[in-house]
């Protein structure tokens, strides 16, 4: 590709995406409101833009790795379109987990102004994405995805084209519903085994070899057993995603009682000051409830 790849948002996921793109030999320019994160990008071998507008003007595609739907809409319909004007033909690649209905509407609005929008949320922790194990869930025009296949290959060696804009996010929310419940079930099982007098590390090895196995045991089990909550996916962001799931369920008339329990556990963690810790911190709330 002749143009640099732009990244807006250089937090946990944005910095990992930048690392993979740079490792693949691609030129990366990024911007984050926090100066330290821009410095980290430069240390990785990328370049820091002075603003979102700078990134938008100098890059294609423009990768969004911001917090939520509000920020995606604000960035795309604010500084990006202001910098590019009408009919730029540039591609915006949105990796954030968002409200799928609002993303579908946004894609339609910006298409009329010459901006091509590709939804690309990822299933997996930042650590999994760093190792090339993240799964991309693509929503949008397959021809646009093919045009930036080199970028997608670098960040998502495994990916599925789900459908139109919004469908990638719908798949992400459903996958993350299952994933989150597995995480809470593992936390509760580890606490239960410990209360029964079993060594948690030994029990984790048993669980991995049992019919109860899930990938969460590999990504979160050791963190839970050691109370190592260095963030690979923050609890507050997971809570944001769970609330999106519940909103979508309300729109289609489905009750999600297990997910409501997960929401309450995450909300308790955030209230306890644990929102910026890894989402494996749910085990702390399970421990607190056992202590009552």
**pLDDT tens sequence across 149-202:** 999 999 999 999 999 999 999 999 999 999 999 999 999 999 999 999 999 999
* The model's pTM: 0.91
- The DSSP bridge pattern shows strands 135-139 and 91-94 to be unpaired
Q: Of 3.40.50.620, 1.10.3720.10, 1.10.730.10, 1.10.1040.10, which CATH number belongs to 170-291?
A: 1.10.1040.10
Q: Supply φ then ψ for residue 211, to 5 degrees.
A: -70, -15
| Whole-number Å distance between alpha carbons of 131 and 110 | 33
**pLDDT tens sequence across 10-63:** 999 999 999 999 999 999 999 999 999 999 999 999 999 999 999 999 999 999
Show me where the domains of the chain are located: 5-164, 170-291
**What pLDDT score was predicted for residue 292?**
62
Residue with structure tokens 């990785």?
Answer: 44
Both tokens of 238, joined, read 């997971």
**pLDDT tens sequence across 77-96:** 999 999 999 999 999 999 99
CATH code of the domain made up of 5-164: 3.40.50.720
**What pLDDT score was predicted for residue 132?**
92
Residue with structure tokens 């691609």?
Answer: 26
Share of the chain above pLDDT 70, in %: 99
């Amino acid at each position: 590709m002749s143009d640099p790849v732009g990244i807006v948002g250089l937090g946990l996921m944005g910095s990992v995406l930048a690392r993979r793109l740079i490792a693949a030999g691609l030129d990366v320019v990024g911007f984050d409101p926090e100066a330290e994160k821009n410095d980290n990008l430069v240390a990785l071998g990328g370049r820091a833009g002075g603003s979102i507008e700078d990134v938008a003007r100098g890059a294609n595609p423009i990768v969004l790795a911001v917090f939520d739907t509000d920020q995606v809409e604000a960035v795309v319909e604010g500084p990006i379109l202001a910098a590019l004007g009408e009919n730029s033909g540039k591609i915006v690649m949105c990796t954030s987990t968002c409200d799928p209905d609002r993303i579908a509407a946004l894609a339609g609005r910006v298409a009329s102004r010459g901006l091509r929008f590709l939804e690309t949320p990822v299933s997996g922790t930042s650590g999994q994405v760093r190792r090339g194990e993240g799964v991309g869930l693509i929503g949008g025009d397959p021809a646009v995805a093919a045009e930036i296949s080199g970028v997608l290959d670098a960040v998502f060696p495994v990916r599925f084209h789900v459908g139109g804009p919004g469908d990638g996010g719908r798949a992400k929310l459903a996958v993350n519903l299952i994933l989150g419940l597995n995480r809470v079930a593992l936390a509760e099982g580890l606490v239960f085994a410990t209360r029964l007098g079993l060594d948690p590390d030994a029990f984790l090895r048993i669980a991995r070899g049992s019919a109860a196995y899930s990938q969460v045991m590999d990504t979160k089990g050791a963190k839970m057993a050691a109370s190592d909550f260095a963030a690979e996916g923050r609890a507050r962001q997971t809570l944001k995603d769970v609330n999106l799931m519940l909103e979508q369920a309300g729109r289609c008339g489905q009750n999600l009682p297990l997910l409501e329990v997960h929401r309450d556990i995450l909300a308790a963690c955030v209230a306890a000051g644990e929102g910026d810790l890894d989402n494996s911190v749910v085990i702390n709330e399970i421990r607190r409830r056992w202590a009552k």
